[in-house]
């Protein structure tokens, strides 16, 4: 899904809101020039767009986009899997470095490849919820959003025996019901600090350099082991880049934590 239909709907809402305010002001005898109402509509539109598309915007509910651990640490996250052979290859690299990550998985993929998910959980990686099919959420209502989260959590629990406690919205796009729906399903909404746009396949070197540039204390890095429900995703560049990223994390003496570990540290006094 592209952002265009969402933009159209949000713009229509802001226009209606501005018109409603104008009518209410007129009925109360408050006269304002047309230009002021046009500017008000534009302002409302901008607020709605930022709240919906900016992953860190708090208007639609607080969301975690960075951690605050007791000592320098980062979290690696992988979205849109499990997708073979890439997820298993990523797990092989992580095991070689004795490193753990967090995988935000799609329910449809979890059902298709439960063995990979079981392996990830057994090796100490955290499994988060990324909806059933990566459909954008801003035009969905609360019942639909809860349904896709619950269905995915059910699939993850069936595969691993563990119900996820973390949720990440596809594209990071939200509406007023997303974070609340996630909480009602027992999940905390998670965004990210640094996205390296690896699904564009910019080259191994670019993925390494962008990741390393974002390695600051508390950073949550977004990588992918799949690409939405693309039947033939290619995460080979991520697999090739991962050893260099992990070596740099070690060189800087940053601890590599799962998301829940990162969250737990900022809630418990040192």
Residues with a known catalytic role: 79, 224
In degrees rounded to 5, what are phi and psi of residue 101? -135, 180
Give the containing element (helix H, strand E) for 180.
helix 178-184
CA 38 to chain centre: 34
Structure tokens of 27? 């009925």
Three-state SS at 109: helix
Cβ atoms of 145 and 185 within 8 Å: the answer is no
What is the dihedral sign for C-alpha 233, 236, 237, 239?
positive
Q: Closest Cα to residue 129, out of 110, 112, 105? A: 105
- Tokens 């901008």, located at residue: 46
Instruction: Tell me how far apart the alpha carbons of residues 170 and 79 are, in angstroms, rounded to a whole number.
Output: 9
Structure tokens of 269? 């006094």
Cβ atoms of 145 and 178 within 8 Å: the answer is yes
**Relative orientation angle of helices 114-122 and 86-96, to the nearest 10 degrees:** 10
Instruction: Tell me how far apart the alpha carbons of residues 143 and 238 are, in angstroms, rounded to a whole number.
Output: 35
Q: Which residues pair with 64 in a beta bridge?
A: 190
Q: How many CB atoms lie under 10 A from the CB of residue 131?
A: 24
Cβ atoms of 78 and 102 within 8 Å: the answer is yes
């Amino acid at each position: 899904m592209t952002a265009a239909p969402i933009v159209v709907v949000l713009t229509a809402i802001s226009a209606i809101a501005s018109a409603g305010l104008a009518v209410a002001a007129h009925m109360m005898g408050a006269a304002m020039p047309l230009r002021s109402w046009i500017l008000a509509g534009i302002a409302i539109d901008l607020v709605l767009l930022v709240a919906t598309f900016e992953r860190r915007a708090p208007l639609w509910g607080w969301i975690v986009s960075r951690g605050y651990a007791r000592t320098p640490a980062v979290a690696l996250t992988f979205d849109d899997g499990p997708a073979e052979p890439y997820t298993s290859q990523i797990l092989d690299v992580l095991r070689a470095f004795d490193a753990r990550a967090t995988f935000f998985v799609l329910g449809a993929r979890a059902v298709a490849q439960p063995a990979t998910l079981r392996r990830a959980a057994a090796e100490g990686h955290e499994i988060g919820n990324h909806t059933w099919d990566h459909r954008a959420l801003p035009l969905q209502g609360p019942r639909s959003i809860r349904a896709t989260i619950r269905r995915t959590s059910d699939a993850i629990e069936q595969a691993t025996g563990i119900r996820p406690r973390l949720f990440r919205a596809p594209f990071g796009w939200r509406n007023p019901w997303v974070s609340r729906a996630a909480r009602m399903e027992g999940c905390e909404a998670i965004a990210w600090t640094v996205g390296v746009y690896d699904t564009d396949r910019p080259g191994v070197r670019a993925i390494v350099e962008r990741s390393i540039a974002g390695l600051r204390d508390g950073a949550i890095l977004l990588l992918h082991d799949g690409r939405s429900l693309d039947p033939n995703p290619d995460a080979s560049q991520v697999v090739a880049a991962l050893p260099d990223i992990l070596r740099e994390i070690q060189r800087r003496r940053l601890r590599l934590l799962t998301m829940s570990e990162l969250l737990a540290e900022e809630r418990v006094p040192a």
